[in-house]
Amino acid sequence: MLLVLQMSGSVLYSGITFFFLTLASAMAFLIAPFANYVTYKGGLIGSELLKSLLLVTIPLFYFTIGLNVFYVMMLLLIVALISQFSYPIESTIMPIIVGKENIVKANSYMQTIREGMSIVFVAGAGILVVVIGPVQAILITAICHLLSSLTYVFFTFQQESAPTEKQSINLLVQTYKIDLRAGIDYMKESLIPKMIVSIVFINFAMGVMIPNMPAFALIKGNGNEALYGFYLASLSLGIMIGALLAPRIKQYGFGMLTIVSFSFTGFLWMGAAVLPAIPSILFFCIGAISIGIINILMFSSIQQQVESAFIGRVLTVLTSAASIGMPFGSLVGGFIGESFTAIVPVFLCGIAMIIFSVSWLSNTLLRKLPKIDEVKLFPARDVDESIQYEKSV
């Protein structure tokens, strides 16, 4: 996004770029079911290798025939779509490896490692961009995806059902439709659809803010590009702290925990919008803690309560529905940032967090949700019914 901002000089183009990136999440329900037709190992190796090959074309074209901003935007959309293919595979593998009884701790540890490395590498990338430029930094990203694909070669994953070796196109499409429908049916009569409206709203607000972060960081840092990396690192630090706290505070009621934490986030991000750089980064970091907490608890609850054969499909449908607000928020955020200043969208996102908390507070069902281990997200199915349902699919 910083590269697009530099090439176009427009916050609006950054908003359009983020629209493409988040549109991929909204389209996940069309892509992710195809992950059922490959082996876990093959799917992960192939997706990482393909992302590496695509990203390396950015520095290649930049140093040869020239780089077009629209090419960068479309390429990032394709890379994001590939990530939607590998995401359900990663989600399915975790409970298989650690067991469902350990999934909250495992997700917390993984999120801590992921965000901890992001703090170091993203902050370092902010400095690296100043020294060598964003195009060269993207080359490093392409190399990392290549190394990731090579690393997966050494893994062996237990797979409950191997994909069919050969299928006709018609049979493949029919099976795909059945898998997609299975994920939707599995969520019927559950609590998740009742939460989706609120999640769409909060994602819309995040979409308004995030594409403005490169320009926002330049304003706060008086043109210093490194500050963008520091803001991203502070976001990762906050999420990491939230991931560390999640197993320790999961005994509190999920409803009130969500209400209180996101209301604090709202006030903190409003402060981050108007304060100078150092306190702004601090407030931005603390405000992100709630995101880490709620993400871990909600994600772990789904992994605990859904049969492994359905985890990928349920998460795909849920993610697609929840993500629909973010692409449109990014377009609105681009227009707001272009028309006024990048500070305004960040402030508006803080207000939206408070509105989100108030909406949960006014809803009796959401407000009184018990601790996450006692929240029944999906209807209970006895073992025989689950086996019969899975065979029919």
pLDDT digit string, tens, across residues 198-257:
778 888 898 899 889 888 998 998 888 778 888 888 888 888 888 888 888 888 888 899
CA–CA distance, 357 with 130 (Å, rounded to integer): 39
Q: Which residues span the domain enclosing 83? A: 2-157+167-392
SS3 letters across 239-254: HHHHHHHHHHHCCCCH
Token pair for residue 111? Answer: 């999120």
Question: For residue 364, is it within any domain?
Answer: yes
In the predicted structure, residue 11 carries a pLDDT above the cut 80: yes
Mean pLDDT, residues 358-384: 74
CA–CA distance, 216 with 284 (Å, rounded to integer): 12
Q: CA-CA distances (angstroms) from residue 312 to 64, 90, 175, 286, 365? A: 41, 9, 15, 31, 27
Mean pLDDT, residues 320-348: 87
Question: For residue 269, is it within any domain?
Answer: yes
In the predicted structure, residue 157 carries a pLDDT above the cut 80: no
Token pair for residue 66? Answer: 């020239």
In the predicted structure, residue 76 carries a pLDDT above the cut 60: yes
Q: State residue 309's pLDDT score.
A: 65
CA–CA distance, 288 with 206 (Å, rounded to integer): 12
For residue 117, what is the enclosing H or E element? helix 103-132
Question: For residue 150, is it within any domain?
Answer: yes
Q: State residue 81's pLDDT score.
A: 87
148-176 exposure pattern, b = at least 16 Cβ within 10 A, e = fewer:
bbeebeeeeeebeeeeeeeeeeeeeeebe
- Picking from 119, 108, 111, 110, the residue whose alpha carbon sits closest to that of residue 237 is 119
| CB burial of residue 189 (10 Å; 0-12, 13-18, 19+) | exposed
Question: For residue 198, is it within any domain?
Answer: yes
Question: For residue 162, is it within any domain?
Answer: no
CB atoms within 10 A of CB 373: 13
| CB burial of residue 9 (10 Å; 0-12, 13-18, 19+) | exposed
Question: For residue 279, is it within any domain?
Answer: yes
Q: Considering its fold, how many domains does the chain have in total?
A: 1
Q: State residue 318's pLDDT score.
A: 72
56-65, 268-277, 303-312, 340-349: lowest mean pLDDT where? 303-312
Mean pLDDT, residues 342-366: 91
CA–CA distance, 352 with 231 (Å, rounded to integer): 20
86-95, 311-320, 383-392: lowest mean pLDDT where? 383-392
Q: State residue 236's pLDDT score.
A: 81
Give me the CATH number covering residue 354: 1.20.1250.20
In the predicted structure, residue 382 carries a pLDDT above the cut 60: no
Q: State residue 189's pLDDT score.
A: 67
Mean pLDDT, residues 19-32: 76
Question: For residue 27, is it within any domain?
Answer: yes
- Picking from 330, 328, 227, the residue whose alpha carbon sits closest to that of residue 17 is 330
Q: State residue 129's pLDDT score.
A: 80
| CB burial of residue 314 (10 Å; 0-12, 13-18, 19+) | buried
Q: Specify the residue for token string 């999906």.
A: 378
Confidence of residue 389 (pLDDT cuts 50, 70, 90): very low
10-19, 46-55, 107-116, 335-344: lowest mean pLDDT where? 107-116
Residues 6+ apart with CB under 8 A from 380: none
Comparing 367 with 119, the larger pLDDT belongs to 367
Confidence of residue 383 (pLDDT cuts 50, 70, 90): very low
Supply the DSSP symbol for 393.
Answer: -
Q: State residue 349's pLDDT score.
A: 94
Query: Mean pLDDT highest for which of 55-64, 165-174, 330-339, 379-388?
Result: 55-64
Secondary structure (3-state) at 287: helix
Question: For residue 47, is it within any domain?
Answer: yes
Token pair for residue 180? Answer: 């997609």
